[in-house]
Structures are given as structure tokens and as C-alpha cells.
């Protein structure tokens, strides 16, 4: 009895060509199924991936270009999942990078079958994800923000941040404080004090 087609939506579709690839063995947390597709893996409506081992690429340099051609510009995001399994990868990678621009594929490097499988899983599970995680809009508590704020100048650490604010009460007072006053706080050596004061006093715009 044929399985209903619906299941393929939540599963990674794998081309039968990939049979025997150790990546499949590592693909454990998401369901996958064989399917007749031009790419090696289909990870969503507009996303597909081709798998390439550099060892193989060195022996058959033309293979990957044929495969890319067969995609016929179908998918929007075309991943070239490249397994780096040779030590001198420089030449192959340079060539692949150059052609990736022409062939409209995005190269993702991985170093083991497990990592490759992880990428596939990630692509599938993020199919409908929003991008807030990389847009830097992660809200955090006041304390975290505070620590983040104070620790921007290099060499100032978390303990210093807490010491600073607990000493002055509010951030505003800390910003207004004199170098001498800050220097009294344990842990705030002259370098840190200088960096902090510079960051606070430095104009936003560099002067001409």
C-alpha cells in the first residue's frame, strides 16, 4: 500500500543516489524518505542540497557541474554541502567558490558525516523559522543588558560590571563618574578605567 504523499512534507526527501552515504545513518532526529528528485536532498519547498565529498570531487571534477545543471534553476536556495575529507583542500575549494557564483549555489562546508546530517536537519527544521535569532533582537533582562553594556570595552568583565553599578547605584552615575572614583573599585585597574572612560567620553562621530 502506497504511503500518502502528505508525509513528505515533514520529511527530508532523499534521492536514491544517496543510498549508502554515511550521512543517512547520522540523520536520526528527523524522518527522511527516498524520492525521485533531481537534487540529493530536498529540504523544503524552495531549498535543496547537493552532497559533494572533496575526495570524490578530485577524482571526478565534472560530476558536480552536471548535477548542478540538472537542477535547471529549480530551487531558490541551492546548497552545495561539501564534505572536507582531504587535507589539501585549497585548490578544490577555490575552484568551487569561483563557480558557485556562476552556478548559483551556496557552499556549506562540513567536516564529518554527523555534521552534514546536522546541517540537513537544521535546514529542514528551520524551513518556516523566522530570522529573529540572527537579527539581534533578543530581549534580555535588565541585568544582562547592563552587563552587556558595560562589558563592551575590551578587558572589562562581568564582575567589573556588577561592581561598577553596585558602587554607583545607577548607570547614569557610573557614566558620569570620575576616573579616580572608578579606580577605587576593586578589580578596576587603570587600563579598564581608561578604556571605560574613553568609551563613554569618546564622541560618536570621529572628528576630522
Partner 1 sequence: MSATSAPQPVKLSLPLEYQQALFQELRSEDELIVLARGLGLMRLVTNLLHSYDAAGNNLIIIVGAEDRENAWIGEALAEHAAISMSPKARGLTVVNTDFTSVGAREKMYARGGIFSITSRILIVDLLTSLLNPETITGIMVLHADRVSTTSLEAFILRIYRQKNKIGFLKAFSDNPDPFSTGFAPLATMMRNLFLKKASLWPRFHVVVAESLEGKKKKAEVIELEVPMTDSMRDIQNAILECVEVSIHELKKANAGALDMDGWNLDSALLKNFDVVVRRQLEPNWHRVSWKTRQIVNDLTVLRGLLHSVLTFDAVAFLQHLDTIYAAHSPPPGSTRQNQSPWLFLDAAQTIFETARKRVYAASTRPAVAGPDIDALQPVLEELPKWSVLAEVLEEIDRDLWFDPPVRDDSNGTILVMCSDANTCRQLRDYLQTMHVKPKTNEPERAKMKKTKDVRDDDDDDDDDDKSKLSAAFMMRRKLRNYLNWKKEFARVSATLFSENQRALNGATDGRSGQPLRGKAPPNKRRRVRGGGAIGAISGRAENGSVVPLADRPSDVAGLVAQVQATEEEKAQHQKADAVADVVADPLDDMEDYYQLYEMQDLVVIHAYDGDQDEHVLEEVKPRYVIMYEPDAAFIRRVEVYRSSHNSRHVRVYFLYYGGSVEEQRYLSTVRREKDAFTKLIKERASMSLVMTTAAADAAHGHGAGFDDPQEAFLRTVNTRIAGGGRLAATAQQPRVVVDVREFRSSLPSLLHGRSMEIVPCMLTIGDYVLSPNLCVERKSIGDLVASLKDGRLYAQAEAMFQHYKNPLLLIEFDQNKSFTLEPFADLSSASSASSASSSSSSSTAPPSVSSDVQSKLVLLTLAFPQLRILWSSSPFQTAEMFEALKSQEHEPDPLTAVRAGLDRDMRADDQSFNLEPQEMLGIVPGVTPKNIKNIVLETENLREVANMSQEELEPLVGRQAARQMHEFFNRNVVEE
Footprint of partner 1 on residues 77-116 (CB under 8 A)?
A: 77-79, 84, 89-90, 93-95, 97-98, 100-101, 104, 106-112, 114-115
- Distance between CA atoms of 15 and 36, rounded to whole angstroms? 6
Interface pick for partner 1 out of 6, 19, 60, 135 (rule CB under 8 A): 135
Q: Which of 16/176 has CB closer to partner 1?
A: 176
Q: Which stretch binds partner 1 (CB under 8 A): 12-20, 51-59, 62-70, 126-134?
A: 126-134
- Contact by Cβ (8 Å): 102, 13: no
The x, y and z cell numbers of residue 176, run together, are 558620569
Binding mask 161-190 for partner 1 (x = CB under 8 A): xxx-xx--xxxx--xx-x-xx-xx-xx-xx
Asked if 7 touches partner 1 (CB under 8 A), the answer is: no
Q: How far is the CB of 165 from partner 1 (least distance, A)?
A: 6
Laid out side by side, the sheet with 41-42 consists of: 32-34, 12-14, 41-42, 47-53, 77-83, 106-110
Interface pick for partner 1 out of 11, 30, 37, 71 (rule CB under 8 A): 30
**48 bridge partner residues:** 42, 78
Kind plus residue range of the DSSP H or E element containing 48:
strand 47-53
Contacts of 65 (CB under 8 A, 6+ apart): 99, 103
Q: Which stretch binds partner 1 (CB under 8 A): 1-9, 32-40, 62-70, 143-151?
A: 143-151
Applying CB under 8 A, the site for partner 1 has a residue count of 89
Residues in 52-71 at the binding interface with partner 1, rule: CB under 8 A? none
Asked if 11 touches partner 1 (CB under 8 A), the answer is: no
Q: Which stretch binds partner 1 (CB under 8 A): 1-9, 11-19, 50-58, 127-135?
A: 127-135
Cα–Cα distances (Å) from 118 to 3, 37, 76, 97, 200, in that order, read: 26, 21, 21, 22, 43
- Distance between CA atoms of 87 and 77, rounded to whole angstroms? 28
Interface pick for partner 1 out of 9, 22, 65, 76 (rule CB under 8 A): 76
Query: Is 18 strand, coil or helix?
Result: helix
Asked if 4 touches partner 1 (CB under 8 A), the answer is: no
Are β-strands 106-110 and 77-83 bridged in parallel, bridged antiparallel, or unpaired?
parallel
Amino acid at each position: 500500500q502506497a504511503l500518502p504523499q502528505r508525509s513528505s512534507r515533514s520529511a527530508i526527501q532523499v534521492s536514491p543516489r544517496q543510498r549508502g552515504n554515511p550521512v543517512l545513518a547520522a540523520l536520526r532526529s528527523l524522518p527522511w524518505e527516498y524520492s525521485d528528485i533531481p537534487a540529493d536532498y530536498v529540504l523544503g519547498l524552495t531549498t535543496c542540497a547537493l552532497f559533494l565529498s572533496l575526495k570524490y570531487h578530485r577524482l571526478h571534477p565534472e560530476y558536480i557541474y552536471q548535477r548542478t545543471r540538472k537542477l535547471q534553476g529549480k530551487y531558490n536556495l541551492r546548497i552545495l554541502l561539501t564534505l572536507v575529507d582531504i587535507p589539501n583542500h585549497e585548490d578544490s575549494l577555490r575552484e568551487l567558490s569561483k563557480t558557485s557564483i556562476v552556478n548559483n549555489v551556496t557552499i556549506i562546508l562540513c567536516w564529518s558525516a554527523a555534521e552534514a546530517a546536522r546541517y540537513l536537519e537544521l535546514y529542514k527544521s528551520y524551513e518556516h523559522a523566522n530570522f529573529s535569532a540572527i537579527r539581534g533582537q533578543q530581549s534580555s533582562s535588565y541585568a544582562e543588558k547592563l552587563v552587556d553594556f558595560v562589558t563592551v570595552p575590551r578587558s572589562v568583565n562581568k564582575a567589573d560590571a556588577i561592581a561598577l553599578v553596585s558602587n554607583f547605584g545607577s548607570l547614569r552615575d557610573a557614566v558620569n563618574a570620575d576616573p579616580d572614583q572608578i579606580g577605587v573599585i576593586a578589580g578596576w585597574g587603570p587600563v579598564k578605567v581608561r578604556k571605560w572612560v574613553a568609551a563613554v567620553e569618546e564622541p560618536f562621530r570621529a572628528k576630522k
